[in-house]
Amino acid sequence: MSDIPKYLPLSQRPRRDESGVTGDWAPRLSAVLEVLAGLVEKDETASDDVARLIWMLRADRRSRLSAAIARKTPRALTDDPAAALRSIASETGRKRPLRDLASAVIVTLDVASASQRAVHLDAVSLGAVAVARALSAPLPIRAVLADVTLVASDGDWAVGRGPERSVPGAAIVLFLYGRTGLPVTE
């Protein structure tokens, strides 16, 4: 029998307190932005991806929609991207969707990879981004996930079906976004 039913609502999965579950990813986004600000601060060369992320996180829904229709994301003009990232991270009262967290995670991993620095991101943030991407990934990536299960060695989550392969969560996210090839077992 498949193990899918244990993840469905009203299923036979073990009962847990889920009162803290929310669709607001702002606290986790703030933590990722702090890590990214530290990377940008030490590198002192802000990439276009960081500038676009800053613009996207500051923009309202209407501006994002206009940019999507025009197929062009304006570049945020800032002299100090680290300060801009910390300012966004300290904002309160604004709910943040998973899409914002995913953008910040992938930019952080890209910057860390480019500067050859190791970063530690929260396992829940990486897992949420990975699961969301696995559901909407391009066909070649979904085809790979049909034959292998990528299990996060640093978290309590996995994506895919098939034989298990234990790899770091960041490597799974980079694979799912097409930044690297299929991660190798640790």
Pick from 24, 12, 32: nearest CA to 109: 32
**In the chain, what are the domain boundaries?**
26-114, 123-176
* C-alpha span between 56 and 48 (Å, rounded): 12
Name the average pLDDT for the chain: 86
pLDDT tens digit string along 3-13?
666 566 655 66
**What pLDDT score was predicted for residue 9?**
61
| Axis crossing angle, helix 169-176 with helix 98-114, rounded to the nearest 10 | 100
Confidence of residue 158 (pLDDT cuts 50, 70, 90): very high
Q: Give the tokens for residue 26.
A: 């702002």
Amino acid at 156: D
Structure tokens at 100: 């914002």
pLDDT of residue 170: 95
Average pLDDT estimate for 81-101: 92
**In the predicted structure, residue 153 carries a pLDDT above the cut 80:** yes
Tokens 């929310």 belong to residue:
22
Contacts of 62 (CB under 8 A, 6+ apart): none
pLDDT at residue 39, as a whole number: 93
Are 31 and 88 contacting, i.e. CB atoms less than 8 angstroms apart? no
The structure's pTM equals 0.84
pLDDT for position 61? 80
Closest of 22, 26, 4 to residue 104, by C-alpha: 26
| H-assigned helices in 24-162 | 26-43, 48-58, 61-70, 81-89, 98-114, 123-136, 139-145
With bands split at pLDDT 50, 70 and 90, how would you rate the model's confidence at 73?
A: low
Give CA angle at 125 (122, 127), nearest 5°.
105
Using a pLDDT cut of 90, give the percent of the chain over it.
Answer: 58
Highest mean pLDDT among 22-26, 38-42, 52-56, 166-170: 166-170
Q: Which residue has the higher pLDDT, 65 or 77?
A: 65
pLDDT band of residue 1 (cuts 50, 70, 90) is very low
